[in-house]
Chains A and B, each alone.
Chain A
Amino acid sequence: MKSRIRKREQDPDITRRSLILLFVAFGAFALLLGRLYWLQVVESDRYRDLSENNRLRLRTVRAPRGLILDRKGRAIAETQGSFDLVCSPVDVKNLESEIDLLSEIVEFDVEDSEVIDKIRRAKRTNPYSGITVARDLRFEQVSVIEFNRENLPGFSVLVEAKRSYPYGTAFAHVLGYVGEASPEEIEQSEDDSLEMGDLVGKYGLERLMDGELRGVNGGRKVEVDAAGRDQRLVEEVPSEAGGAVHTSLDADLQVTAQEALGNRAGAVIALAPRTGEVLAFYSGPSFDPNMFTRGIRKAEWQALSSDPRKPMQNKGLQGTYAPGSTIKPFLALAALEAKVQEKGKTVLCTGSYRLGNRVFRCWKEKGHGVVDMYRAIVQSCDVYFYTLGLKVGPDPLAKLEKDAGLGTITGVDLPGERKGLVPDTEWKRTVSKSRWNDYESVLLGIGQGAIHLTPLGMTVGYAALGTGGEVMRPSIVSKVIGKDGKIRTFAPETLRKLPWVQENVEFIRKALAGVVNDYGTGGGAKLPGIVVGGKTGTAQVASVKGKMIKSEDLPYEIRDHAWFVAFAPADDPQIVVAAMVEHGGHGGSAAAPIVKAVMQEFFRTRTVGPPRKEGA
């Protein structure tokens, strides 16, 4: 039992050993104290900054883009709320797996790999920015994402302003579209507030009026938790909505124009001749600008840009075409103004015209017989205008055409307008470096040869015929209500007043009315109760040797372009409409019905007084 006696009185060994351990404890605590002093006193400011960065996020509140309205106050471009999936790169934990999960729920704006690249890049360069990866989510998608919140740190669904075009494809070329500002655009912009992710106008009115339409972004300083969720609003600067742009466009007319052109390629333009207001401006084939709002995918873009019919081109503004017979009224007027030929002077049309050893055919093989100027316009006799073209010569004709607006920049408020070409001897000398040939004058008589014009230029020219020589700048924007509430209105702008002899112009108008109403080539545009005056045009794309072949029987690419340009009522026009159908065949059959449809819609709501005395 002795060995079991373990009592002692404070064994000095054990006491000493305990003290040693106590000193170890003191050492450990001293080390911890030193560490705490380092973290909490010496380095405290740095860690405080880090914790602020942890918890505070500056979120941009994007300003809603301003409205674009038609002449009756209907929104043709508006801003709506949209559920967008936004990524805060700094909060993303495992990018690949989160993208994997998300790709099962939503369709990204771009391919998965591009999304990953974009976020990865932002993580390095701008980790606190917000990157929109998918737009306009459906409610089910939003709820699935919210349900998977824990597995998706760094992603959140925000209600963002979405640009929306209620008329879809109808106004595409006029309104244009918006897209995220590119780094270059941000750098070059005069507006310092433009930042990544902001939408800017890329085309059409959206681009031209971008400064007015774009609002001023606001900001929200929010506290977020570790999963990047907003917890508390710390500070807020509200955004300022963009200004409203009122236009002269008429949505009903625009839709009618689109429907009338249908699937064909071409342009339909309607103007109010006295003011230059553009009432409708359609180019086909069109595209849906809403596609750009939600972010266009590569495949869609490729389909658009590789389409041989060029849907992205505004054909009314950027397409140039030989005018064909639509040029004839200008030549007739030039002859009258220069007094080189009386209206009553007759020409015998035998079906062809010979100059030297060249033979120029009339569209009517058998010939028109004896025609005066009126008949020649009404019947669109080529032989008459071959002789007239030669008689007037290129320079007086070119001057009159340019004065009227053909082959010039009309100055419409849309970006990217092209001029086309009205040839004269000066042009021939400087560009082709050769002498003017007489046969060119002959061809000019029927709007073939070097001449090519935009449908808009043509429309402006016919508007000048309608007003008797007052050339108006075509305009779309009528009024801007700025961000600051200030209203700016744009009055009609007269470009030129031409000293045309009114009697001559009235004769031309009468002849054009004859085209439609007096058994002419434009009978397809005849309207009950209203006298329409217009001119057909069938512009050759390729010369076909030998026998006359109906354009409809040719392959699409070499079919003729079909024109019809008209105004109504012929004695005091309220509207000018031009329709140009690419490879459409004959102007009278392909283009005239389009003009008729637009005019019918235009006059549906307008009453027209009795025609003036001197009218038809």
Chain B
Amino acid sequence: MSRPSKWARMEWPLLINALALCAIGFLNVYSGTRVHGVPGTALVTKQLIWILLGVGAFFAVFLLSDGFIEETANGFFIAVLLLLVVVLLAGKVRGGAQRWIAIGAFNFQPSEFAKIAVTFALARYFSGTYRYGGVGMREVFPAIGLVLVPFLLVALQPDLGSAGVFLFILAGMSVVACVRWKVLAVFAGSAAAAVPLLWFFMKEYQRQRVLTFLNPELDPLGAGYHVIQSKIAVGSGGIIGKGYLQGTQGSLRFLPEQHTDFAFAVFSEEWGFLGSVLLLALFLLLVYRLFFLTARSQDRFASFACGGIAVFFLTHIAINLAMVCGLFPVVGIPLPFVSYGGSSMLTGMMALGAVANLSRSRFTFQGGGGKGRGIDS
């Protein structure tokens, strides 16, 4: 049984798409951070290192043997859960939330990796429950239980933004995994009913954010400041933008978190509507390709994992951009490949590497038993 080599089945469009986004992100991090007098290695240099490490991570995951990801999915999931517990107990506190673990000079956020771990665990679970005619109510409960544990751990940090991403991944994967529409409707309904309940669990600053999202002018110099300044940055970019390194909102530090969560504000101020459309197109292409691979994979685990990862990216992109444009409350969700940050970069690249790995299955002859987990007998 001969198969093309791994390299021949390499998913180049995905990597090239991601690298294009990385390049934009890299230039943008330079623009967003050049005025900061941060001691130590310049953030832009660090970002370059992260990109290179990210590409390494991509290939490391891509080169894993067929089936390895599926087999280790549960173990990976449990390991990440342990890390989340460690963060809660011994993590670094920044801005009122405990999200970071320090390793040497680098800090990383286990919640980012948890998103991928949850995706694989769900994919593995759903690949077992799939049946023609749709998955029923009873099989969905274990999946909810699976997500609930990391969700609570992250929500306790507290990082409601990242916790929310788990729910989006669960919802998206439920759709891909052919959970019956009726069942989905029931859960969607009860989730909607639970929203007011959520209010009571929020911390004061989170409530403030929601309130100021609804009306930013409530507190233009306080909680509404981020949204207002971000909208000013985006809007003042106009059609062609102020030009690279010419943005004033960013370089004069009116923007909060301008190299991480609000990186898009810096970008769209300098590159305008045209640049924003180009960036949007690149992201759409990425998401499109991921859903394409979801549909094309010949292996259910691969399909569901790809679908989960597609939803993961879609959620990040949509929420981050909506937040920067003032369509969504301010939450700590980075823009994949564009925002500065190691955890986000590594997670994104690993996720794409996994997709590239899993999508090799579509070249496998049906019935050929060409899966890595051993040729049947």
Using CB atoms and an 8 Å cutoff, list the residues of chain A in contact with chain B.
Answer: 1, 6-11, 13-15, 17-22, 24-26, 28-29, 31-33, 35-37, 39-41, 43-44, 46-48, 50-51, 54-55, 92-93, 223-227, 231
A37 to B235, CA, bound (A): 9
**By the criterion CB–CB under 8 Å, are B367 and A6 in contact?**
no
Inside 8 A of A6's CB, which chain B residues have their CB? Answer: 127, 130, 299-301
A10 to B268, CA, bound (A): 39
Inside 8 A of B102's CB, which chain A residues have their CB? Answer: none
Inside 8 A of A43's CB, which chain B residues have their CB? Answer: 235
Which of B236, B272, B292 is within 8 Å of A51, CB to CB?
A: B236
Query: Which of B22-30, B38-46, B249-257, B352-360 contacts the other chain?
Result: B249-257
Is B288 interfacial (CB 8 A cutoff)? yes
Inside 8 A of A37's CB, which chain B residues have their CB? Answer: 273
A197 to chain B, nearest CB (A): 23
**Additional A-B contacts beyond A8-B298, A33-B277, A55-B252 (12; CB < 8 A):** A8-B299, A9-B366, A15-B295, A17-B176, A20-B175, A22-B288, A29-B287, A31-B327, A37-B273, A39-B325, A44-B238, A225-B252
- Majority-rule SS of A interface residues: helix
A40 to B325, CA, bound (A): 10
Inside 8 A of B229's CB, which chain A residues have their CB? Answer: 54, 226
Is B51 interfacial (CB 8 A cutoff)? no
**By the criterion CB–CB under 8 Å, are A54 and B235 in contact?**
no
A394 to chain B, nearest CB (A): 74
Interface positions of B from 215 to 230, Cβ below 8 Å from A: 221-222, 229
Q: Taking A21-B291, A28-B318, A36-B273 as contacts, is the C-beta distance between A225 and B235 under 8 angstroms?
A: no
A18 to B254, CA, bound (A): 41
Is B109 interfacial (CB 8 A cutoff)? no
**By the criterion CB–CB under 8 Å, are B310 and A21 in contact?**
yes
A51 to B231, CA, bound (A): 10
**By the criterion CB–CB under 8 Å, are A17 and B252 in contact?**
no
B164 to chain A, nearest CB (A): 15
A243 to B229, CA, bound (A): 46
Q: What are 25 A-B residue pairs whose CB atoms fall within 8 Å in the complex?
A: A1-B376, A11-B303, A14-B176, A14-B295, A14-B307, A18-B294, A18-B295, A18-B310, A22-B288, A25-B284, A25-B287, A25-B310, A26-B284, A32-B322, A32-B325, A36-B268, A36-B276, A40-B272, A40-B273, A47-B232, A47-B234, A47-B235, A55-B254, A223-B252, A226-B254
Inside 8 A of A26's CB, which chain B residues have their CB? Answer: 284
**By the criterion CB–CB under 8 Å, are B252 and A224 in contact?**
yes
Inside 8 A of A13's CB, which chain B residues have their CB? Answer: 132, 134, 178
Inside 8 A of A29's CB, which chain B residues have their CB? Answer: 280, 283-284, 287, 318
**By the criterion CB–CB under 8 Å, are B280 and A36 in contact?**
yes
Inside 8 A of B175's CB, which chain A residues have their CB? Answer: 17, 20-21
Which of B268, B272, B314 is within 8 Å of A28, CB to CB?
A: B314
A315 to B21, CA, bound (A): 82
A227 to B296, CA, bound (A): 53
**By the criterion CB–CB under 8 Å, are A18 and B273 in contact?**
no
A51 to B221, CA, bound (A): 15
Q: Taking A14-B294, A36-B277, A225-B253 as contacts, is the C-beta distance between A50 and B300 under 8 angstroms?
A: no
A296 to B236, CA, bound (A): 45
A43 to B175, CA, bound (A): 38
A97 to chain B, nearest CB (A): 12
**By the criterion CB–CB under 8 Å, are B253 and A227 in contact?**
yes
A7 to B233, CA, bound (A): 50
A592 to B231, CA, bound (A): 79
B286 to chain A, nearest CB (A): 10
Is B237 interfacial (CB 8 A cutoff)? yes
Q: Taking A7-B366, A36-B268 as contacts, is the C-beta distance between A44 and B294 under 8 angstroms?
A: no
Inside 8 A of A54's CB, which chain B residues have their CB? Answer: 229, 232, 248-249, 252, 254
A224 to B318, CA, bound (A): 32
Inside 8 A of B127's CB, which chain A residues have their CB? Answer: 6
**By the criterion CB–CB under 8 Å, are A41 and B273 in contact?**
yes
Is B172 interfacial (CB 8 A cutoff)? yes
Chain B, residues 306-344, CB within 8 Å of chain A (1/0): the string is: 010011001000100110010100000000000000000
A168 to chain B, nearest CB (A): 44
Q: With CB as the reference atom, state the residue of chain B lying closest to A32.
A: B321
Inside 8 A of A55's CB, which chain B residues have their CB? Answer: 248-249, 252, 254
Interface centre among B239, B276, B291, B300 (most CB of A within 10 A): B291
Which of B236, B252, B280, B299 is within 8 Å of A50, CB to CB?
A: B236
Inside 8 A of A46's CB, which chain B residues have their CB? Answer: 235
Q: With CB as the reference atom, state the residue of chain B lying closest to A28.
A: B318
Chain B, residues 159-190, CB within 8 Å of chain A (1/0): the string is: 00000000000001001111000000000000
B321 to chain A, nearest CB (A): 5
**By the criterion CB–CB under 8 Å, are B280 and A33 in contact?**
yes
Q: With CB as the reference atom, state the residue of chain A lying closest to B319.
A: A28
A47 to chain B, nearest CB (A): 3
A11 to chain B, nearest CB (A): 7
Inside 8 A of A31's CB, which chain B residues have their CB? Answer: 322, 327
B232 to chain A, nearest CB (A): 5
A1 to B374, CA, bound (A): 13
Q: With CB as the reference atom, state the residue of chain A lying closest to B132.
A: A13
Inside 8 A of B248's CB, which chain A residues have their CB? Answer: 51, 54-55, 223
Q: Taking A18-B307, A21-B307, A32-B280 as contacts, is the C-beta distance between A39 and B234 under 8 angstroms?
A: yes
Inside 8 A of A15's CB, which chain B residues have their CB? Answer: 295
Inside 8 A of B269's CB, which chain A residues have their CB? Answer: 51
**By the criterion CB–CB under 8 Å, are B235 and A14 in contact?**
no
Inside 8 A of A226's CB, which chain B residues have their CB? Answer: 229, 252-254
A162 to B224, CA, bound (A): 40
